Chain A
Amino acid sequence: MRKMRSDRLQFVFMLCLAFVTAGGKSFERKVAQLLQDKTEDPKCFVEGKKDLTCFWEVEKERNLHDRYTFMYSYENEKKMACVVSSLSLRASNKTVLFCKLPQELFFTPLNVQVFRDGQILYNRIFNVENVLLLDPPSNLTVMSSGKEGQLNVSWLPPPLKHMDDSMIYEVRYAVEGSHMGKVEKIKASTTLVLRGLQSDTRYEVWVRVKLDGVAYDGYWSSWTDPVFAVTAPTDMDPLIVLLVLFIGLILCLLSLTVILSHHKFLLKKLWPDIPTPEHKFPGLFTVYKGDFKEWMSQNNGSMWGRSVHVYTEELPSPVEVLSEVSLTNYSTSPREGRKPAEKEEGSERADSGLMGGWREPPHAQWLMEQLRALQENPESFSQSTLLQSHDTYVALNQNSQRVQGDTEQKVDDVFEETLPLQTLFTTAGTSSLSASHSDLGSLPQSSGSGRLSSQSSFEYPNHTWPPKGPGYAYMAVADSGVSMDYSPMSSSSIAELGKLGIYTNEYKNEIFGHKWPFSCQHIESGY
């Protein structure tokens, strides 16, 4: 029994202590807040209908209570003394002396005086209803209203009868974490709808209260503890969704109409027919029922031309790799043969400079002979006749005309398997000439023997390659830029020619100067 009682007493005591400390905390907070206000000393506030307190700041020292006295008097009444107590503010490390007045009379002037060592320090007259400092509002709730960018805020005012219609509030809100807050003032209502907020964002909301100053006046209370809420996410405006769908539908219909109206054309582009060569061989399938021999016999020369022409279109231009062979290594006979030609050609070259067009050189016959010699004597020819053959542009085929006019004819020659030599000398076009001409210009002209030609470049597809001469190094270049490396047919000849510097590598414009007695140049066919 006794134990129970003592327990109960203890519990009650703890409860009391808790209340006192809580109240004390709020009191201390109010004192600290008002200390920063610029009202005259002593600073006084009333927490509601009661608890009027006046305080003033002092320097920390001993015997504070003895030095200071506090006197107050209401109108037409005598002065009364009030007990002075001290309070140390932990936050700002300041000391205040305060007095809690026992009686509060509103709507009448009150005179307070502070004496230090008998001397009057402060003297102030005020009305108590003008110094109200309330507790902050309670039960602050913030909820999303469902609409985007809106929050519903509501709170309970401090419980003061007669004064609730004189209260004004300030609601502060900010995005969580940011320091840019907005403030809304509100009168005579304890709910507010915040508008114009960002959607789907977390907001912090605070509220504080003050008397409106008409009948009662005072100071702003402290802010409540913040309350967090998230605004509703953006919802798609149904009108926008509808419009988007509608526009999409219209676009679909339009595209469908276009597709249907041009479906044949589109089909051709996307799903092309497999090309057949029927149209190139007129009558082959229709008249001769696929009998090529018969068809050929019927349509000999012209057909070829046409087909060749076609072929030419698809084939890349031939590129011939030319090499210069040192005169010292030449066998005498070709050399001799060459010399007269050289002289002839030299003058010619000076004239034409291998520019642009090529003309039928007068020594075509001589070259023919040289080529025949090559066939008989591959080795010797490789050294000299190569050069010579490359010195000029020669068309052995009498039918061949100027390059400019007659590309097809040249190619004609090219593909005559019966005239392999022709292939060496026909050119693909003037473009190659011009291209090579410029290159030639940049080449260092070594000794007179250095007949760099490398002008004509042409390329042959593999199957028409005339591989009779072993010593040729050809480089075929496709018009697409793919380089095909054709090594000479016999490796032995390469070895021999190697010292002479026949170049079989790919296809760069390189000029080799002194290393080799002659320079090789790979000319890219202008195609």
Chain B
Amino acid sequence: MYHKTLIYVFLVCSGLVSVLIVFVWLGGNQVSPLRPICDLRVLDHFVQEARDSEVIMRGCRGGCGVMKSYFVPLTRVDFAVWEHIDVQSQAVEVQTGLSLLVQALSTAKITVSNSPLASTLDNNISNIHSLGQILHSLDLQQARSTVLPDDSAPASSQMQEVSSLPELLQVQSSFLRGKVRLLLSAAPACQRQNS
């Protein structure tokens, strides 16, 4: 009878331990990164919304913001050069640019009283935040750093100054269509999936 109780206890313990192991394993999996978002249609949607902002801006009469200088990223892409830059550098450039844009848009939105324009600017800002999430899912998010105008040279080489909201919106559109898209289409996480 003593033996029997011992055996019972042993069985219960092993069962519990196995359950624990299972839970730990499951729990461990949860800690792993997000699933990569490789579908470019999301980005295309953002691009369309940025274009909508430009359209609304063109049709805006009154309360369309003030003349102010904004620091925005450089949007130009020379394929010969871009394709030789490694992905991580590209990611840094994109990330920096996106944060610049968010800053500029937020600043601009304060001065806008026209409600359609204001709402579309809100859209753009939230889209850029979503892009950050996407980059994070692709393992491309770098440590966020608030870029200040008086930063070191590397930052300035990747910056330009615009003096009005329409120009700002144009830059946003070009940046999303260009560098951001190129980065996402070339993301290693997505390449692994496709191949």
Binding site for B on A (CB under 8 A): 49-50, 74-76, 103-108, 127, 129, 161-162, 165, 214-216
Contacts and interface: CB of A to CB of B under 8 A. Distances in A.
A214 to B, nearest CB: 5
Contact of B77 (A50, A76, A107, A161): A107
Contacts of B80: 49-50
A158 to B, nearest CB: 15
B60 interface: no
Interface in B93-143: none
A107 B47 contact: no
Given A129-B177, A129-B178, A214-B177, A107 B48 contact: no
Interface string B160-195: 100000000000001101110110011000000000
A495 B74 CA distance: 135
B76 interface: yes
B181 to A, nearest CB: 5
B76 A107 contact: yes
A161 B182 CA distance: 10
Contacts of A76: 160
B24 interface: no
Centre residue among A74, A104, A108 by max chain B CB count within 10 A: A108
Nearest to A212: B44
29 contacts: A49-B79, A49-B80, A50-B79, A50-B80, A74-B76, A76-B160, A103-B78, A104-B78, A104-B79, A106-B76, A106-B78, A106-B79, A107-B75, A107-B77, A107-B174, A107-B175, A107-B178, A107-B179, A108-B74, A108-B75, A108-B174, A129-B177, A161-B83, A162-B182, A162-B186, A214-B177, A215-B47, A215-B177, A215-B178
A109 B64 CA distance: 23
B160 A107 contact: no
A103 B79 CA distance: 10
Contacts of B175: 107
A162 B75 contact: no
A165 B44 CA distance: 11
Nearest to B40: A165
A492 B186 CA distance: 128
A510 B165 CA distance: 118
A49 B178 CA distance: 13
Q: How large is the interface on B (under 10, 10 to 19, 20 to 34, 35 or more residues)?
A: 20 to 34
Contacts of B74: 108
Contacts of B79: 49-50, 104, 106
B78 A127 contact: no
Given A103-B78, A215-B44, A215-B178, 7 more contacts: A49-B80, A106-B78, A106-B79, A161-B83, A162-B186, A214-B48, A215-B47
Nearest to A217: B177
A169 to B, nearest CB: 18
B177 A107 contact: yes
Contact of A215 (B75, B181, B186): B181
Contacts of B47: 214-215
Contacts of A127: 174
Contacts of A107: 75-77, 174-175, 177-179
A74 B107 CA distance: 27
Contacts of B174: 107-108, 127
A49 B80 CA distance: 9
Contacts of B76: 74-75, 105-108
Nearest to B51: A214
B78 A105 contact: yes
Contacts of A161: 83
Nearest to B185: A162
A127 to B, nearest CB: 7
Given A162-B186, A165-B40, A105 B77 contact: yes
Centre residue among B75, B76, B79, B178 by max chain A CB count within 10 A: B76
Contacts of B160: 76
Contacts of B48: 214
Contacts of A74: 76
A212 to B, nearest CB: 9
Nearest to A215: B177
Contacts of A216: 177
Contacts of B185: 162, 165
Contacts of A165: 40, 185
A76 B74 CA distance: 11
A76 B75 CA distance: 12
A214 B179 contact: no
A107 B44 CA distance: 15
Contacts of A106: 76-79, 178
Nearest to A105: B76
Contacts of A129: 177-178
B34 to A, nearest CB: 22
Contact of B44 (A50, A75, A162, A214): A214
Nearest to B75: A107
A519 to B, nearest CB: 110
Contacts of B181: 162, 215
Interface in B33-88: 40, 44, 47-48, 74-80, 83
